[in-house]
Amino acid sequence: MHATRSIAVIGAGLAGLSCATALREQGHRVQVFEKSRGVGGRMSTRNFESWACDHGAQYFTARDPSFAQQVDIWLKAGAAALWDAQITSFDAQGWQTIQSSSGRYVGTPSMTAPAKHLARGLEIHFSTTIDQLLRQDQVWKLHCKERGLLETHFDTLVLAIPSKQAEPLVQPHSATLYTRCQDAVMVPSWALMVYANERLPLAFDAAFINQGMFIWLARSSSKPQRQSGEAWLAHATTEWSLAHEHLTKDQAAPLLSAGFEALTGYRPQNIQTHLWRFARLGHASQHGQLFNPDLQLGLCGDWTSTEKVEGAWLSGQALAQDIFRTFDTTST
Ligand SMILES: Cc1cc2nc3c(=O)[nH]c(=O)nc-3n(C[C@H](O)[C@H](O)[C@H](O)COP(=O)(O)OP(=O)(O)OC[C@H]3O[C@@H](n4cnc5c(N)ncnc54)[C@H](O)[C@@H]3O)c2cc1C
């Protein structure tokens, strides 16, 4: 039997929630700290006055059996559904339909639904940006931007945030973890969201774009349980996003809009843009979740695994296992 530990998880994306639920299931006291006002991180839907658009992760697949089981739970709970999308590709030869056998799932009614399902029953502190970690007498204390030093202290600390955001937090405590964060360079992605008053004459739901400034185009409103109307999403390539990372939303908007018109023939009137500053890894991950048992400090997230929803969830589970193993050896 384990002694009950007090554990803080920083970040309420899929990785943090996955780790927090696994730790809580083992009877530990878990608190999650999230800088934004909701869960889901990069798996998210933007809501506007009369429309909505999935502007981060577009869908997820389930190859690992344990993640497939989790997806099954979401499907049964109505938090996810299969997106039976008609997919095409675009290159110098034009548009071509793709026959794909892999099941693509989406959150329902929005991309945040699976995260909300995981979050049920967890103690989550929103609008809490952790900007400093303090280690005193073998316990962790947290400092947050909004409220200063938090009173509670923790035996174990999990950082489930992008590598660049974890970097300054771990630097004073572990040269090894700091180097690992530095090695995992994450690159940006510009997203263009378009709302059209009429249905666009494009005979597909989504497309992999293999030339030009975009990499992905999707009729967001074709996903199950989405609002009626015609919402489209386009993600720019890593190269384009890196070259235009310094632009403001207003500066990027006409460029993205012109690219959308060149690709689809439709001149957008109603658009929104978003820059995902730490969208994905610039290279394949080399390590897996990271844990320092002496410090009781661990890192997880898609950047330690595969840069997908599935990878994020799996990294949280794997870190929870690493943590349990040290509890086995330290509990009496
Ligand atoms: C444009 C784009 C398209 C994508 N498309 C797909 C796709 O089609 N399929 C797929 O499977 N995956 C896709 N992904 C990847 C997928 O979204 C991620 O792999 C996954 O959501 C990452 O989860 P995570 O928990 O590791 O990180 P995140 O989702 O980034 O969660 C980290 C959380 O930590 C919080 N946080 C950060 N710093 C702090 C701090 N100091 N204090 C407190 N909280 C903090 C953040 O607010 C965030 O909520 C895409 C990602 C992007 C950006």
Instruction: Give tens-digit pLDDT for 194-242.
Output: 999 999 999 999 999 999 999 999 999 999 999 889 999 999 999 999 9
What are the φ and ψ backbone dihedral angles of 115, each rounded to 5 degrees? -65, -40
Distance from C-alpha of 300 to C-alpha of 317, rounded to nearest angstrom: 9
Indicate which atom in ligand 1 lies nearest the CA of residue 315. 26
Say how many Å lie between the CA of residue 1 and the centre of ligand 1.
34
Say how many Å lie between the CA of residue 96 and the centre of ligand 1.
30
Instruction: Give tens-digit pLDDT for 160-177.
Output: 999 999 999 999 999 999
Instruction: Give tens-digit pLDDT for 276-313.
Output: 999 998 776 667 779 999 999 999 999 999 999 999 99
Instruction: Give tens-digit pLDDT for 42-99.
Output: 999 999 999 999 999 999 999 999 999 999 999 999 999 999 999 999 999 889 988 8
Say how many Å lie between the CA of residue 55 and the centre of ligand 1.
12
Q: Give the domain ranges of the chain.
A: 6-330
Indicate which atom in ligand 1 lies nearest the CA of residue 129. 42
The residues, ordered by sequence, that sit 6+ positions from 196 with a Cβ below 8 Å of its Cβ are: 230, 231, 232, 266, 268, 269, 270
Q: Say yes or no: domain 6-330 is CATH 3.50.50.60.
A: yes
Indicate which atom in ligand 1 lies nearest the CA of residue 131. 41
Q: Whose CA is nearest to atom 48 of ligand 1?
A: 41
* Residues framing ligand 1 (Cβ under 6 A): 10-16, 33-36, 41-43, 56-60, 129-130, 160-162, 165, 189, 191, 235, 276, 279-280, 301-302, 307-312
pLDDT, averaged across the chain? 94
Structure-token pair, residue 10 = 């920083």
Say how many Å lie between the CA of residue 302 and the centre of ligand 1.
7
The residues, ordered by sequence, that sit 6+ positions from 280 with a Cβ below 8 Å of its Cβ are: 186, 187, 189, 238, 302, 307
Indicate which atom in ligand 1 lies nearest the CA of residue 306. 19
Indicate which atom in ligand 1 lies nearest the CA of residue 16. 25
Q: What is the pLDDT of residue 186?
A: 94
Say how many Å lie between the CA of residue 40 and the centre of ligand 1.
7
Mean per-residue pLDDT for 7-36? Answer: 97
Vertex 109, ends 62 and 310: CA angle to 5°? 20
Say how many Å lie between the CA of residue 212 and the centre of ligand 1.
25
